[in-house]
């Protein structure tokens, strides 16, 4: 099973790139972030022609997530628990069958949280608490799951091209990193770090200031695996070449393979 995550920065602008990448990469399940579309605006014909069924949690203009799969999927959640009126489309979760038992895949678009010291940052931390709560529920099943997405958190200084420049950024705040560590310390495995302990495995390069050409990147897109999934982890990759294409998203796909 190949599981992937990709923040596409508008699925309508990136439908051609996405369809080509699906054909080339052949993932089994993909979670998308920042589709910036309502469900009716999703380019369903173009994407589903590649052999994938798309499940959408849409929103007008901003945010929006989707789960694509070439196997039957049971959607198990379209939001995190305790939303309390939260209308932002940032979570989708589905369950697929595998020879090794059910696999749950969660798609996450974690709030950016900038600027710090505002209600946007408070919303980010609250959202992370809700993700931790959902993760505790999933862990009780003692099954395979993968929580993939744009976490908008650089786990350590190693994940930032210039840590000093990001000292006051929400993506690098001690509070953001502590919440991510709390999530990991529940027993999850960061798939990229399971294979590369000290490399600069960036997944995002800003559009501004020629960041891609200068490799001014961040590692903010992650695949976090339950113990049952981590036991079957056989490969991990970051499809950096996607960032070099004309009209690219500012994020690239991250994927892992589970031996099932």
Partner DNA sequence: ATGGTGGCGGTGCCA
Question: 254 — phi, psi (to 5°)?
Answer: -120, 135
Q: Contacting DNA (CB under 7 A), which of 24, 40, 61, 142?
A: 61
Residue 58 binding DNA, by CB under 7 A: no
Could you say whether residue 185 binds DNA (CB under 7 A)? no
Torsions phi, psi of 182, nearest 5? Answer: -60, -45
Scanning residues 89 to 108, which ones bind DNA (CB under 7 A)?
none
Nearer of residues 70 and 120 to DNA, judged by Cβ: 120
CB 69 within 8 A of CB 94: yes
Q: To the nearest whole angstrom, how small is the minimum distance from the Cβ of residue 112 to DNA?
A: 4
- Of the pair 16, 199, the CB lying nearest DNA is at 16
d(CA 203, CA 198) in angstroms, rounded, equals 15
Q: Which tokens in the block code for residue 168?
A: 């006051």
Q: Which of 49, 74, 181, 207 binds DNA (CB under 7 A)?
A: 207
**Burial class of residue 90 (count of CB atoms within 10 Å of its CB; 0-12, 13-18, 19+):** buried
Question: Contact between 214 and DNA (CB under 7 A)?
Answer: no
Tell me how crowded residue 164 is: count the other CB atoms within 10 A of its CB.
Answer: 8
Among 155, 205, 202, residue whose Cα is nearest residue 180: 155
Contact string (CB under 7 A) for DNA, positions 106-145, x = contact: -----xx-x-----x-------------------------
Enumerate binding residues for DNA (CB under 7 A): 9-10, 12-13, 36-37, 60-62, 111-112, 114, 120, 206-209, 247
């Amino acid at each position: 099973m190949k599981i992937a995550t990709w923040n596409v920065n508008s699925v309508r602008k990136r439908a051609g790139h996405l369809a080509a990448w699906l054909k080339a990469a052949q993932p089994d399940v993909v979670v998308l972030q920042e589709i910036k579309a309502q469900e009716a605006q999703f380019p369903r014909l173009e994407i589903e022609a590649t052999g994938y069924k798309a499940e959408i949690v849409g929103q007008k203009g901003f945010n929006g997530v989707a789960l694509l799969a070439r196997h039957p999927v049971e959607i198990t959640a379209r939001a995190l628990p305790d939303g309390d009126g939260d209308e932002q489309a940032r979570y989708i979760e589905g369950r697929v069958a595998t020879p090794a038992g059910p696999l749950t895949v969660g798609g996450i678009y974690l709030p950016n949280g900038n600027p710090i010291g505002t209600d946007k940052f408070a919303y980010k931390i609250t959202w992370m608490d809700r993700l931790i709560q959902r993760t505790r529920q999933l862990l009780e099943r003692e099954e395979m799951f993968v929580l993939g997405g744009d976490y908008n958190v650089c786990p350590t200084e190693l994940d930032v091209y210039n840590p000093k420049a990001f000292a006051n950024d929400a993506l690098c705040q001690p509070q953001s990193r502590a919440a991510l560590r709390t999530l990991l310390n529940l027993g999850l495995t960061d798939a990229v770090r399971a294979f590369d302990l000290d490399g600069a495995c960036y997944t995002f390069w800003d559009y501004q200031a020629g960041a891609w050409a200068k490799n001014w990147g961040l590692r903010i897109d992650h695949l976090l695996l339950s113990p049952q999934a981590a036991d079957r982890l056989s490969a991990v990759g970051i499809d950096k070449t996607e960032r070099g294409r004309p009209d690219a998203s500012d994020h690239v796909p991250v994927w892992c393979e589970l031996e099932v």
